[in-house]
Structures are given as C-alpha cells and as structure tokens.
Amino acid sequence: MKIPKLKKIESVKKYHGISLEDDYAWVDQPNILEVLKDPGKLLPDVRKYIEENNSLAEDYFKDVKNLQKKLFNEIKSKIKLDDTSLKFKDKKYYYWSKTETKGNYGKNIRQLIDESKPEEIYFDGDLEKKKCGSEYFGLGSISVSYCDKYMAYSLDLKGSEYYTIYLRDLDNNKNEKDIIENTSGSITWSLDNKSFFYSKLDKLHRPRKVYKHVVGTPIDSDELIFEEKDETFTCGISLSSDEKFFIISTSDHITTEEYFFPSNAKSIRPVLFQKREKDVRYSMDSWREYFYIQTNKDARDYKILRCKIDNINKLEEFIPSKKETVIGGLEFLDDFIIRGEKSDAIPKLFVRNIKTNKEEEIKISDEEIGCPGASLMQRDRNTSKIRVGWESMATPGKVYEYDIITKEKKLVKEHEIPSGHDSDKYIVERIKAKSHDGRMVPISLVRLKNSKKDGKSKVLLYAYGAYKHSISPSFSASRFCLVDRGITFAIAHVRGGGCLGDSWGEEGKKKLKKNTFLDYIACANHLIDQKYTYKGGFCFYGGSAGGLTGGAVANMVPELFFSMLLLVPFVDTMTTMLNKKLPLTPSEWELWGNPIKSKEYFEYILSYSPYNNLGLDKKNYPPMFITSSLFDNRVLYSEPVKYIARLRDLKNDENLQLLKCKTKPSSHGGSSGRNNAITELAEEYSFILKTAKISD
C-alpha cells in the first residue's frame, strides 16, 4: 500500500525562549473555523492528503468487508428497532417517543390524557430529514410550549454544532417565519407561551448571550437579557423545578455564577445569586419557599445548601459533604426529595421524606456494580411514585414504577435484546490497580464467565480521563460482539475523570495531567499481573480527550498494545492551547493550563502532548485507526491530520496506522442516523478483530 505523504514547510516559533518546531503548522490554516461551515475553503493539499488517507483506509478494510456486514447485522440484531418509550404525563397530554424498524431517526408523539383524540406524531425525524435534503441531521432540542400549541426545535445540518431554531404551530402543523440561526441549540419556553429563550453563538462559536424571542416578531428585535463578558465563560438558561424562576448559569470548567428572575416577570432584571469565585461551582434550583444549592465550596465533592427565597444570604447546610463521595443534584416531589451520589465509581439513589427529614437508599438490584437511575412519571409532583431503573455491564436495563411509601415496584419496561442475551454467561468484576503514587484506580470489566485467567486473552481497555466526566459501568449490547469472541471489555476509571469525586478530577489536570496516563498504564500492568492478558494483549479504545490519553500512552508504552483506536483525538494539545481564537481554548485553560502566559505550563504540556512527543527515540507503534471530520468544532481535523503525518515520519515500525477523515457533514460524535452509527461501529470492531487476528 502506498502511504500518503504530506508536504513539509519549515516552521519555528518561539514561546518563553523555547523553540517549537512544526513542519506541519501550515495545516492549521488561519480561517480554519470557516472550513467548519464551508469545506470548500479547505487547503487543496490537505484535502488531497485526506482523500489519499481515506482511500488507504478503504483498501485496508477490503478483506474484512464481509466481517463488517456480519458485525453490522449482529449489532442491529441486538437493537429493538421498533421501540416505544414510557409516557410522561403532562397537564393536558401524554408525551413519549418511538423508533421504527425502517427509520433512522425517532418520532415524538403525544395524546390528550382523556384520549378524546387519537395520538399524533408532532415531530418525525425521518420526515424532517427528508424535508431538509441534507446528509447530516443533528437534532438539538425539541421543546413544546406550556400551552401545547407551539413547538420550537433546533437543527444542525452539517455537524459543526451551529444550530438553527425553527418554530411550528402544532394546530396546523406549519412552520412560522421565526427562524434563528447560529444558536447553541437550547430552547427554554416562557410560561406565557408567547416567547422563549435561547443562547446565541458569537463569531468564535461560544454561547455568551441569552436572548428572549417573542413569537411572530422580527429576530433582530429579540431582547438581550444576559451577556457574559469573560471570553472563557459560556452561558445558558433553564427553568426551576417549581417553575417560579428562570435561572441563568454562566461558567467555565471550574467556576460558576448564577442569576435568577421570576418566571412571571414582565420586565426582566436578572439577580445575581452568588458572585463567581474561582474554582467554586454551584447550581441552584427552587422548590416551594427554598432555593437549594449544590456547591463544591468547602466541599470538593459537593454538598447541598438551602436558603429562603426571600433571604438568599442566609444559607444552611441541608446535605453535608462526604469524603470522595459525589453528592448529586435533587429531584423534587411534593413530599419527597430524590437524589443520587457516587463513591468508588459506583452510583446510588436516595429518597428523603420532606416531613420527617429521614432518608434511605433505594435498592433496585442485588448486583453490586451497576447503574441505578430515577425519573419523574408526571409533571404534577403530588405523587409518591417515580420510575427507577437499573443496568450493569452484563445486565440490560430495567425500569420499574416505584412507590416510595409502600416500596412496591412494578416492571414497566425492559431493555430487550431481540437476538437474545443471557446475563448469566458473563461476569462483571471491579478490581483496583495501584498507580505510581499509591492511588488505587478502579477497573470495571465484563468477560465470559468461562474464560480462563491464563494470561492469554486480549483486553479492550477503554479510558477517557478529563472534564471530571464519569464513565459508568453501564450496559452496551454492541460490546458483546467483542466479548462473545473472547475479548474482555474493561474500563480504566483514571484520574481526570470524576468517578471518585472532584479530587479525582483535580488530580488529573493541569500540572497533574500525567496522572491520567500513568493510571492507565498501572491498570494495564495490573491486568497483566492478574493474568487477564499479557504484554501486547491490549487494544486502546477512546475518543476526543480519551484520544489524548491514548496518544500519550502510545508514546510511553506502545509495546502494551496490539492496536489502538483514537477517535476524533485531541492529540495536538499544544497547538490548540496556544490558539485562543478556537471555540473551546480559553475555557480549556482551566483544565490544561495556559501555555501562552505561563512558561511552566508550556513546558509541561510540551512534555506530554502526543503530537510533540512522537518518535522521540524511534519507537515501534502498534496499528492504529484514527478518525476525524472536517466539520468537528471540538477537535479540529487538523489535529489528527498532522498527527498521522508526523507519526509516519518518526516511527520505526512497519505497522499500518490509518486516518479516516469524514469529508461529508458529520459531527464530533460521527455521522447522524442509526444505520450510519452502526456502520461506523462495525468498522471500528472489524479493525479490533483484524488486528487481534480473530477472523470471526
């Protein structure tokens, strides 16, 4: 196979007296954000290189096309294509959604509670896509007004997350002239049913203004109700649980500030709740006469405070903090409060009786490791019934109608696997690996019960490790395409994520970022020591910031892997953090550090950035499958393009590292539509199986 070559143009820039050499810096074209909207502005040489790489990838997969078809059918057979969600009881209507065998997108349905009229489909995703005539169909929000007359919805038809809001009269099913472009996609209706709120994107794709639009009026007359002046902060708006207040939240990754105003206010004047304080996050809600505040101030893993609505300066502790236990937000009923918490990467559910103030755990399953969940059944909060769910890495989800008072539960929905699934065939385990500094890192895994721990099996070790994002030990039917072929699926709950609380995330960012990579390596070595696999028996699987983790460990311990999948990977960390005009960069400095202002951060990022550390000592790299999209505004296509070019220049092996970059509309999460998503997953799995030398 002929390996594509990308031209080099010598480039040396100095920062803090340190020379940064990058022969592919020209790929980061100055108008790169314009390419997101118009790929015709892509540099011709880059387009040619991408097309050549796409052809190379196509050639590589030719001998596994039948396997991909088999995997596609296998994955699809695990999905209940014709499925209906549970109904939510609103004031006048039941609302629910469904998917159908022939469609790729869902349908939103409603019916009058008294059933005096037949059910109606008020939004048909497949029909709307056909009307748009676009290849990509990204749905942001669907929001129905409180009078049930209007529906506002937002669409992204390229994948770059520039959402356009449309308005439809549900009485005649016709769209109004109200069309709002370049929004974040969120829609929040006013209670007067005559207006709604939305966030507008600025020229750098950041939502920093909240507007109010009155139905039927010109867009240019929309009222600006809030503007965030700090370029590192972004904002949005929501309605409180008791529907008495609108709450504007503005934040970066570590600091929050919130404002509120009455939902019936005729003249909007947002009131500041608490002034922003660096590294303090909080979120507020209101219920009856109280504001409830979830905050990490003096409580790294959060606590709940409350105050009287008419005395916001007098706060009292409602739910105290617990060490390395994440205290979640609250859901309110008239007489009960439901909340979640998580410790040791295991979530739990609790319910509190408001009258007695007594709290107890809601236990749904005897399984030790899994994911409980809770949701409301109706808009009217005068009830003791909620829906609770449970799933684990081996057990498909079940949803029960649960009575808080009687503790009776009734199964109302079960995640059905049409092709069949026997949970008893598998074993779910939670083990821990000691990292370089003594911290114990959890590993969740699922494998065939009859598989031997003889050090000969292969392991897919997934990781993310950023933004304090928790990877839950949840169920995924498609994973069993690999597990049933003898591959253990494992999750390394590395630092940088939030699985073990706020401090777990803090210990994997800025000048502690390398903990993320060292944790992953510790998990891999522990799995080897415990005979789950062997050196060279791992497949790395991760995307976006998880791709950064993969790129870093590829430079550190490439010998661990038989292959790696880096999906839309954040691998050119230094270049991105040096460009403050990119959509996410200013707010990201709180996670990675600002290398523009700080020599220390410049040197630290430079020491691990996957792109800058490629082939420093002529390493052998494993086979890789790297993906990207021209329309991705979160990780720009330039990062994996430069990465693959430099990797091939500097590596010392004969393995094939592939780049596949989508040139047709698609997002950070891939192509839109169910079949497209399955196709992409089948391709990824075929790469894993081919490199694992598993033919079927």
Q: What is the DSSP string of 581-623?
A: TSSSHHHHHHHH--TTT-HHHHHHHHHH-TTTTTTTT------
- Per-residue pLDDT band at 324 (split at 50, 70, 90): confident
For the chain, what is the mean pLDDT? 96
- Distance from C-alpha of 223 to C-alpha of 523, rounded to nearest angstrom: 53
Q: CA dist 440 to 246, 347, 388, 436, 519, Å?
A: 42, 18, 31, 9, 9
Sign of CA dihedral 469, 471, 476, 478: positive
Q: Is residue 1 predicted with pLDDT exceeding 80?
A: no
Is the domain of 118 the same as that of 158?
yes
- Distance from C-alpha of 428 to C-alpha of 445, rounded to nearest angstrom: 6
Q: Is residue 596 predicted with pLDDT exceeding 90?
A: yes
- Give per-residue pLDDT as tens, 541-595: 999 999 999 999 999 999 999 999 999 999 999 999 999 999 889 999 999 999 9
Q: Dmax of the chain from CA atoms? A: 76
Is the domain of 96 the same as that of 179?
yes
Q: Do the beta carbons of residue 194 and residue 153 sit within 8 Å?
A: no
Torsion angle of C-alpha atoms 568, 573, 575, 578, degrees rounded to 10? 130
Residue 547 counted as domain residue: no
Q: Is residue 407 predicted with pLDDT exceeding 90?
A: yes
Residue 110 counted as domain residue: yes
Q: Is residue 88 predicted with pLDDT exceeding 90?
A: yes
Question: Mapping DSSP to helix (H, G, I), strand (E, B) and coil, where does residue 641 land?
Answer: helix
Residue 529 counted as domain residue: yes
- Distance from C-alpha of 64 to C-alpha of 45, rounded to nearest angstrom: 30
- Per-residue pLDDT band at 209 (split at 50, 70, 90): very high
Q: Give the mean pLDDT of 340-350.
A: 89
Total number of domains in the chain: 4
Q: Is residue 534 predicted with pLDDT exceeding 90?
A: yes
- Distance from C-alpha of 36 to C-alpha of 54, rounded to nearest angstrom: 19
Question: Mapping DSSP to helix (H, G, I), strand (E, B) and coil, where does residue 485 land?
Answer: coil
β-pair partners for 295:
282, 303
Looking at 268, 297, 327, the residue that finishes a domain is: 327
Is the domain of 153 the same as that of 46?
no
Is the domain of 58 the same as that of 123?
no
Of 329, 207, 197, 309, the C-alpha closest to 262 is: 309
Q: Is residue 343 predicted with pLDDT exceeding 90?
A: no
pLDDT at position 307: 98
Residue 655 counted as domain residue: yes
Is the domain of 175 the same as that of 200?
yes
- Distance from C-alpha of 128 to C-alpha of 132, rounded to nearest angstrom: 6
Residue 551 counted as domain residue: no
- Per-residue pLDDT band at 499 (split at 50, 70, 90): confident
Query: Half-sphere exposure (CA, 13 Å, Cβ side) for 438?
Result: 0
pLDDT at position 417: 97
Residue 558 counted as domain residue: no
- Give per-residue pLDDT as tens, 39-72: 999 999 999 999 999 999 999 999 999 999 999 9
Looking at 266, 295, 327, the residue that finishes a domain is: 327
pLDDT at position 126: 97
Of 591, 509, 516, 499, the C-alpha closest to 553 is: 516
Q: Is residue 695 predicted with pLDDT exceeding 90?
A: no
- Give per-residue pLDDT as tens, 666-690: 999 999 999 999 999 999 999 999 9
Is the domain of 262 the same as that of 117?
yes
What does R_g of the chain's alpha carbons equal in angstroms?
A: 26
Is the domain of 118 the same as that of 67?
no
pLDDT at position 213: 98
Q: Is residue 113 predicted with pLDDT exceeding 90?
A: yes
Residue 4 CA from chain centroid, whole number: 33
- Residues belonging to the chain: 696
Any idea what the Cα angle at residue 670 is, between residues 664 and 674, rounded to 5°?
A: 100
Is the domain of 450 the same as that of 505?
yes
pLDDT at position 323: 81
Q: Do the beta carbons of residue 26 and residue 11 sit within 8 Å?
A: yes
- Give per-residue pLDDT as tens, 651-666: 999 999 999 999 999 9
- Distance from C-alpha of 646 to C-alpha of 348, rounded to nearest angstrom: 46
β-pair partners for 150:
169
Query: What residue has token string 């990058």?
Result: 22
pLDDT at position 71: 98
- Per-residue pLDDT band at 37 (split at 50, 70, 90): confident
Helices (H), 507-583: 514-529, 545-556, 573-577
Is the domain of 50 the same as that of 114?
no
Residue 541 counted as domain residue: no
Residue 340 counted as domain residue: yes
What CATH number is given to the structural domain containing 639? 3.40.50.1820
Q: How many CB atoms lie within 10 A of CB 277?
A: 12
Is the domain of 218 the same as that of 335?
no
Is the domain of 359 the same as that of 454?
no
- Distance from C-alpha of 566 to C-alpha of 548, rounded to nearest angstrom: 8
Q: Give the mean pLDDT of 298-327.
A: 94
Q: Give the mean pLDDT of 530-541.
A: 98
Task: Provide the residue range defining the domain that includes 524.
Answer: 422-534
Q: Do the beta carbons of residue 493 and residue 345 sit within 8 Å?
A: yes
Per the rule left: phi > 0, alpha: psi between -120 and 50, beta: everything else, 483 is: alpha
Q: Give the mean pLDDT of 611-637.
A: 94
CB burial readout 394-414, b (16+ within 10 A) else e: bbbbbbbbbebeeeebeeebe
Is the domain of 361 the same as that of 442?
no
Residue 260 parent element (H or E): strand 256-262
- Per-residue pLDDT band at 246 (split at 50, 70, 90): very high
pLDDT at position 575: 97
Looking at 356, 382, 415, the residue that finishes a domain is: 415
Question: Mapping DSSP to helix (H, G, I), strand (E, B) and coil, where does residue 207 land?
Answer: strand
